[in-house]
Structure 1
Amino acid sequence: MAHARDLLRLARPLDWLKGFFVLMPLPFAVASGAHLDPLPFALGLLGFSLLSSAVYVFNDLRDVEFDRMHPEKRERPLAARRVAPRLAGLECALLLGLGLALVTASARLAALEIALVYLSLNALYSMGGKHVPMLDVFLLAAGFVLRVLLGCALIGASPSNWLLLCSSALALLLALAKRRADLVQGLGPGHRPSLEGYSQEFLDQAMAVMAAMAILAYALYAMDSQVLRPGREFAGVPLVTFGVLEVLRVARVEAPRGFQMSRFLRSPALGLCVVGWLLATLWSLGTL
Structure 2
Amino acid sequence: MKQYLKLIRPFHWVKNLLIFVPLFFGGQLFDRNKLFLLVLGFITFSFIASSVYIINDIQDADKDRRHPKKRFRPIASGKISKQHAATFLVGLLLVSFLMMAYLTRINHNPWTSFGFPIFYLIMNIAYSNGLKNIPLVDVVIIAVGFVIRLLYGGGLVNITISDSLLLTVISASMFLGFGKRRNELKKGTSTRKVLKAYSMEFLDKIMYVFIGLTLMFYSLWSINGSAWLVYTSPLAMIIVADYCLIIESGSSDGDPAEVLKHSKSLMALLLLFLLVLLLCLYVD
TM-score, normalization by structure 1: 0.90
Task: Structure 1: give runs of 5+ residues left out of the alignment.
Answer: none
2:215 and 2:64 map into 1 onto residues whose CA distance is 35
Q: Where do 1:13-92 residues align within 5 Å?
A: 13-30=10-27, 36-92=33-89
| Pair 129,103 (structure 1): closer, same or farther in 2 beyond 3 Å | same
State the distance in 1 between where 2:137 and 2:194 align: 9
CA RMSD of aligned residues (A): 2.0
The farther-off stretch of 215-224 and 31-40 is 31-40
Give yes or no for contact 2:58–2:75 (8 Å, CA) kept in 1. yes
Of 233, 246, 250, 1:250 maps to 246
Match of 2:266 in 1: 270
The share of aligned pairs that are identical, in percent, is 29
Supply the AA of the counterpart residue of 1:74.
R
- Per the alignment, residue 3 of structure 2 pairs with 6
Q: Which stretches of structure 1, 4 residues or more, deviate above 4 A after TM superposition?
A: 31-36
Question: Judging changes above 3 Å, is the alpha-carbon distance between structure 1 residues 193 and 29 closer, same or farther for their aligned structure 2 residues?
Answer: same
Deviations 1:211-270 (A, max 9, x none): 111111000011123xx2x2x1312212221222222112211x2543233221333222
1:212 to 2:212 alignment: yes
For residues 29 and 23 of structure 2, the distance between their equivalents in structure 1, rounded to whole angstroms, comes to 10
Once residues 257 and 167 of structure 1 are traced to their aligned partners in structure 2, the CA distance between those partners, rounded to angstroms, is: 22
Task: Label 1:155 to 1:205 Cα distance change in 2 as closer, same or farther (>3 A).
Answer: same
2-structure distance, mates of 1:240, 1:150 = 24
How far apart, in 1, do the equivalents of 2:4 and 2:180 lie? 25
CA contact (8 A) 1:35 1:156 kept: no
Whether 1:259 and 2:254 are equivalent positions in the alignment is yes
One-letter amino acid matched to 1:242: I
Shift of 1:286: 4.3
Distance 2:28 2:34 in 1: 14
Q: Does residue 1:282 correspond to 2:284, yes or no?
A: no
> Given the alignment, which residue of 197, 211, 230 partners 1:234?
230
1:46–1:32 distance in 2 versus 1, CA, 3 Å: closer
Q: Distance in 2 between matches of 1:153 and 1:278?
A: 22
Q: Structure 2-normalised TM-score?
A: 0.91
Secondary structure of 2:201's aligned partner: helix
Which residue number in structure 1 is paired with residue 186 of structure 2?
184
Cα distance in structure 2, aligned partners of 1:247 and 1:101: 38
Q: Report the Cα distance in structure 1 between the residues aligned to 2:224 and 2:87, rounded to whole angstroms.
A: 48
1:196 corresponds to which letter in structure 2?
K
1:195–1:94 distance in 2 versus 1, CA, 3 Å = same
Q: In the alignment, what sits opposite 2:173? A: 171
CA displacement at 1:105 relative to structure 2? 1.4
**1:82 is paired with a residue of what secondary structure?**
coil
The alpha carbon displacement at 1:36 in A equals 4.9
One-letter code aligned to 1:86: Q
Aligned residue for 1:147? 149
8 A contact 1:34–1:156 mirrored in 2: no
Q: Tell me, what secondary structure is at the counterpart of 1:52?
A: helix
CA contact (8 A) 2:185 2:195 kept: yes
**Cα deviation, residue 28, structure 1:** 2.0
**What residue in structure 1 maps to residue 203 of structure 2?**
203
